[in-house]
Amino acid sequence: MEEKHVLILPFPAQGHIKPMLCLAELLCHAGLHVTFVNTHHNHHRLNNIKDLSTRHPTLCFESISDGLPEDHPRDIQQHITELIKSIQNVTKPLFRDLLRSQRSKASQHPVSSVITDGIMSFAIDAAEELKMKVIVFRTFSASCLWAYFCLPKLIEEREIPFPCEFKAFISSTYIIVSCYLSFCFSVSFLFFLIMR
């Protein structure tokens, strides 16, 4: 049986890289080969690459340009528009080339599927172009997802601002448990999709 090799592409921000890196580790524990693709800027900022590669021999790292100059501050709160435009113009073709080269490497297991951050939608096109499986992984929390689903109904029922009774219902314990359960379900589902 051919060993599975997954390429993971997060959006270049800490709140996206960390969850995707945790997912990469879990997939390595499950016996998959994983290539984690980062921007050059973030790749150099990761302090634990050697440690992760030692603990997970099936995990390797690649980096591509985000298109911004080296001295650019990359402050997501102030320069998000610049970063997204640069990624679309520069990173998109570089990713497509990287995916082709990873797919054709004879010295290792070829990439069989891509897990991309929802914001990095160009990875979907690139993977589908090469007839590869694609999974879009959203890195936001379960409580955020819940809010997205509930917000239209709350607006429709004129429940915003929230009544006091509702505030008591939302406790930190509830949010922590829902985030954990959502993450466990997501990882199980991803593993199922990759292995089929």
Q: How far apart are CA 60 and CA 54, in angstroms?
A: 10
For the beta carbon of residue 110, count every other beta carbon within 10 angstroms.
Answer: 14
Active site amino acids: 16, 117
For the beta carbon of residue 187, count every other beta carbon within 10 angstroms.
Answer: 16
